[in-house]
Amino acid sequence: MPEVKPFTFADAVESTPLKDRAEKHAESYERRAEMAKAKGNRAECQRNKKLAKNWRRLAATRLPDDAFFRLMEQLIENSDVLLVKGEHSDTALLCLRLVLDNILTGLHGLALQKNKKAIACLLAGLNDAVARFETHSHREPEVYAEWAQNAFGIPGILSRNREKSDDNRQRKLLESLRQGENFPLKILPSGKRGKRWKYASNANDLAEKLRLYIEGHRLKFALLKLSARIEKATLPEWLEDAHKLPAFSPTSHREWSTVAWKILKSASPNRHPSKHPHLANNATKICNRVGDVDSIEDDEIRETLNQAFEVIATGTSARKRQKSARLS
């Protein structure tokens, strides 16, 4: 059976009513769904069915003007091309991640402005994606196991529904995924991986947030580099250092702390973390005030941050280990 390509904007003439064009898109995706079903490709079948359903829904509602409709057609067509290429191309997947991040970040920005339709759009999309992940991960946990083993947690839907909040069912999924076994911090219950690390102080809390921030940018480095090239922008100087970091561990925490310090400096007034409102606030400061009562010395903050990175990497600091050694 020959491959059925989606109806494209190039196939439509200017006189074609928007409703008819939407119907044609729906029909082409329905045919693709049938082909995917015949090949046993359930995921592709479901994706095309959903696209067909969305086009049908659009055809039955008040359609946008021709300019918006044209942009939507082109976006979906280009996404389809990237998805096909994504099976064999990391670059195509990076492009898809760039598009996805741009859409989600934009919707979140509209949600922050209390745009109710944007909030509904954002949460409905996230809810749908997480629901599919939950269903598939219960059926085939091995597909997501490698990612889950290195993650602090996995996406999930919170609900007051008793079945949904069944801890036993969630625990079985997490165990089948072996979630968190390779995570840098000791987050698993005591007795399995040793003492569990906790957010014991503002310094530890800040260090872990910076570690996650660095890790997130390391994972997206190629994507950020591609985006900067497209937008002709300059990446922050610390990003290249973050990309070159070894994996976070008891032997590399000092290198990570150095990059974290560069990030703090870049985000602080006149590159002095002691002047940063978060670090000067009594409720969120990470060390006691020294020197002038209106500031916190930069070197004291840096030393406290170094110790915090050591704590989250090893479970304790060198200072505490030395004190324990003296007492023993």
CA distance 140 to 146: 12
Inter-residue contact 147 to 133 (CB < 8 Å): no
Backbone dihedral angles phi then psi of residue 94, each to the nearest 5 degrees: -65, -40
Kindly list the domain boundaries of the chain, sorted by start residue.
Answer: 9-137, 140-183, 202-327
Which pLDDT tens digits describe the chain residue by residue (328 residues)? 445 555 454 444 344 577 787 788 888 888 888 988 888 888 788 888 888 887 887 777 765 567 777 777 788 788 888 888 888 888 888 788 878 888 888 899 899 999 999 999 999 889 988 888 888 888 889 999 998 888 878 888 877 777 766 667 788 888 888 888 887 666 665 554 444 555 567 888 888 889 988 988 888 888 788 778 877 888 888 999 999 999 888 889 999 999 999 998 888 888 888 888 888 777 777 776 544 544 557 888 888 899 889 888 887 666 665 555 555 5
pLDDT of residue 144: 92
**CA distance to 206, 238, 258, 314, per residue, from 305 (Å):** 8, 17, 9, 14
The sign of the torsion formed by the CA atoms of 150, 257, 253, 284 equals negative
The sign of the torsion formed by the CA atoms of 245, 250, 251, 256 equals positive
pTM of the model: 0.61
pLDDT of residue 285: 79
Inter-residue contact 176 to 199 (CB < 8 Å): no
